[in-house]
Amino acid sequence: MARIIVVTSGKGGVGKTTSSAAIATGLAQRGKKTVVIDFDIGLRNLDLIMGCERRVVYDFVNVIQGDATLNQALIKDKRTDNLYILPASQTRDKDALTKEGVAKVLEDLNEMGYDFVVCDSPAGIESGALMALYFADEAIITTNPEVSSVRDSDRILGILASKSRRAENGEDPIREHLLVTRYNPGRVTRGDMLSVEDVVEILRIPLVGVIPESPSVLRASNQGEPVILDTESDAGVAYSDTIDRLLGEEKPFRFLTEEKKGLLKRLFGG
């Protein structure tokens, strides 16, 4: 059975699509047949971060409405084996997604032998977001270490517990993971940002990853490459650690403390 993972948050701009791209790529790198689906109908940008925007011919809504087959709409990633992208429509309304249509796509992907289906959810609690989380087996709650972002994530946890297919059917609850993005230990020390411990204490769900604030994230997005492919960057390394934890490995958390500057750096900056 394919594991359906939704990457979600209550607030926009916290790095969901960046995280969806990195997580899907990391799973595929480890030999897992993976598809990442953009649920942000009308505002698609997953294809930009994955660097395949010029290859989009058919999209998620085309498949649901019967205008194209799933095979026609899936885009094979050029850089990573086992990785496929199902883009969103830029021209349709969010209500174009139906439970029956999404369920059929997910069933077909399962029959096609996918190990993981990563659902890139839009922000908030509108129809596209609710549809993305409804079918999930697992949820990666993505939050910045700021009070407003954490508060909105707590709201999403309530929705996961009550509005998912698992909740409706009385099945085991969605397995929840916490991903803290744009973490800056220096700002935590100065009191400008919540610590990881603060966020975990508020949300009370297991921590799966801490992604440090890094210019490599923006650079990778602009180049149309998931940041996990940048193995020299702290963010890329942190996402790779996150994949290992998702797959059940024990990994220590890195980038939680401020780097100590040597004498020359303190004297001359940098």
Q: How many CB atoms lie within 10 A of CB 246?
A: 21
82: left (phi over 0), alpha (psi -120 to 50) or beta: left
User: Was 17 annotated as part of a binding site?
Assistant: yes
Q: Is 128 annotated as a binding residue?
A: no
Q: Is 11 annotated as a binding residue?
A: yes
Q: Is 124 annotated in some ligand binding site?
A: no
Q: Which residue has the tokens 């303190």?
A: 266
Report how far residue 95's alpha carbon sits from residue 87's, in angstroms, rounded to the nearest whole number.
16
The answer to the question of whether 99 is labelled as a binding residue is no
What contacts 164, CB < 8 A, 6 or more positions away? 133, 134, 135, 136, 173, 174
Show the tokens assigned to 167.
């909740």
Residue 73 identity (one-letter amino acid):
A
**Full DSSP string of 94-157:** GGG--HHHHHHHHHHHHHTT-SEEEEEPPSTTSHHHHHHHHT-SEEEEEE-SSHHHHHHHHHHH
Cβ atoms of 229 and 25 within 8 Å: the answer is yes
269 is known to lie in a ligand binding site: no
Q: Binding site annotation covers 170? A: no
Q: Is 14 annotated as a binding residue?
A: yes
- Closest to 177 in 3D by CA, of 133, 225, 138, 143: 138
Query: What is the end-to-end Cα distance of the chain in Å, rounded?
Result: 49
Strand order in the sheet with 207-212: 75-76, 83-86, 34-38, 116-120, 3-8, 138-143, 175-183, 207-212
Binding-site residues, in ranges, read 11-18
Binding-site residues for ATP, in ranges, read 11-18
